[in-house]
Copies of this chain bind each other. A is one copy, B any other.
Amino acid sequence: MEVLNKYITIKAHINGAPHESDFELKTVTFPISVESGSNDVVVKSLYLSIDPYQINRMKSYSSSQNTISFAVGIVPGEAIDAFGVGRVVASGHPGFEKGDLVSGMISWGEYSIVKGTSMLNKLDPMGFPLSYHVGVLAFSGLTAYAGFFELCKPKKGEKVFVSAASGSVGNRLANMQSCLAATLSAALGANKRYFPDGIDIYFDNVGAEMLEAAVANMNMFGRVAACGVISEYTDAAKRAAPNMIDVVYKRITIRGFLAADHMNLFADFSSATADHLHKGRIHVLEDISQCVESIPAAFVGLFRCDNVGKKIVQVMDE
C-alpha cells in the first residue's frame, strides 16, 4: 500500500532568522509497508514538538567551526527529524505492532520510516492528552525538571527567575511550586522591581541581555542553568556579556546543559509530573496548530515569540 506523504524541508541552509519562504512542502509517494527482514517501523505523525534548537541544525557551518558539530545537520530537501508522538502503521520490528502509540524521533511530515528503534518508544498515554507527551511530559518538561532540581538545587525560599516563561520550558518551570517563580517574558529593567531581594536561580532560555540582567541582579552563590539561547540562535553576532566581576565576586555558576544528559531522571520526572497534573498543580499551556502545512509558520513564530505555551503541531487526526 502506498500513500502520498507530505513533509517539510528547508530549501537551503538558514543562517539568520528563519522565514516561511525558507521552507517548502514536498509530496512523495510513500510505502506503508516494510521490507521483509528489516527492523523498520513506519509511523504516522500525530503530534510534533516544535523546538527552537532545530535552527542550529539548519545553519551552514564551515569545517573550521566546531560549534554544532555534535548535532546532525539538516540537509536541504531531506526530511527533518523531530520529536513527536505517532501511531505505528507498519512494523518489521518485533517490539512494535501496527496500531501501537509511540513517541520518539519521527519527522516534520505525515509519515516517517524509523530505522532502528533506539529513538522510538512505545507510549502509555496514562490518561493524558497525547499532546502532553510532546511537551509537559516529554523533553520540555524534563529540561525544566533536570535543570531545576539537578543543576540548580533550589532551597526553600530562594528566588527564581525564568526567562521566556511563555515558552515550553519556561512555562513548565514557572509552574513548579516551592519556590517563587516569576513569569516574565521580557524582564529587562524589571528585575529589580520583581526581585527586590535579588535572584538566586536563573533559568536561561534566552541569553544576551536577559542573561546579563540576571547576573547583575543575582545574589551571592547564584546559579544560572542555561538550556537554550534563543535570542542568539538567529544572530551570530549577538552575545551575552555578563559582568565577570559579578560572576567572581558573587561566586556565580553558569552551567549549560541538555535534557538528553539526564534521561536517568525520566522515570522520576514522569511520575512526579503525572502526579502534579492529576492534582491540578500544573497549568498546561499549549499552542497547537493543525496539519503539516502549518509547521513552517509554527517554527518561524518561535523566534517572534508568537507562541503562548508549548508550540505543537497536530499533524494528523488520531
| A residues at B contact (CB < 8 Å) | 56, 67-68, 70-71, 204, 207, 211, 220, 226-229, 232-233, 239-258, 261
Contact = CB atoms under 8 A, between A and B. Distances in A.
For the complex of A and B, the 7 pairs showing the least CB-CB separation, nearest first, are: A239-B241, A247-B256, A248-B256, A241-B241, A229-B244, A254-B254, A253-B255
A180 B154 CA distance: 36
Given A70-B220, A220-B70, A254-B254, A240 B244 contact: yes
B248 A67 contact: no
Contacts of A249: 56, 67-68, 70-71, 256, 258
Contacts of A226: 244, 247-248
Nearest to A247: B256
Contacts of A247: 226, 229, 254, 256
A114 to B, nearest CB: 24
Contact of A258 (B227, B248, B256): B248
Given A70-B220, A220-B70, A251 B258 contact: yes
B244 A211 contact: yes
B56 A245 contact: yes
Contacts of A250: 70, 256
29 contacts: A56-B245, A56-B249, A67-B246, A67-B249, A68-B249, A70-B250, A71-B249, A207-B244, A226-B248, A228-B248, A229-B244, A229-B245, A232-B243, A232-B244, A233-B245, A239-B241, A239-B242, A239-B244, A240-B241, A241-B241, A248-B257, A251-B255, A251-B256, A251-B257, A252-B255, A252-B256, A253-B254, A253-B255, A254-B254
Contacts of A220: 70
